[in-house]
Amino acid sequence: MSKRIKKIFEIKGKKLITFTTGGDPDLNTSLEILKTIINNGIDIIEIGMPFSDPMADGPTIQESSVRSLANGTKINDIFEIVMNIRELNSEIPIILMGYYNSIFNLGIDNFTSKCAETGVDGLIIVDLQPEEDSELFTKSKERGIDLIRLITPTTDHKRLITILSNASGFLYYVTVTGITGQNSANIEDLKKSVNTIRSSTKLPIVAGFGIKNRNDVEQISTFTDGVVVGSSIINIIKDNLNDKYKMINKIKIFTKDLKEGIKE
Which residues are identified as catalytic?
46, 57
Cα-to-chain-centroid distance, residue 104? 20
Would the CA dihedral through 102, 131, 61, 244 be positive or negative? negative
Question: What is the rounded CA–CA span in Å between residue 185 and residue 146?
Answer: 26
Between helix 27-39 and helix 244-263 the angle, nearest 10°, is 30
Specify the amino acid at residue 60.
T
Would the CA dihedral through 132, 138, 139, 143 be positive or negative? positive
Question: What is the rounded CA–CA span in Å between residue 246 and residue 225?
Answer: 32
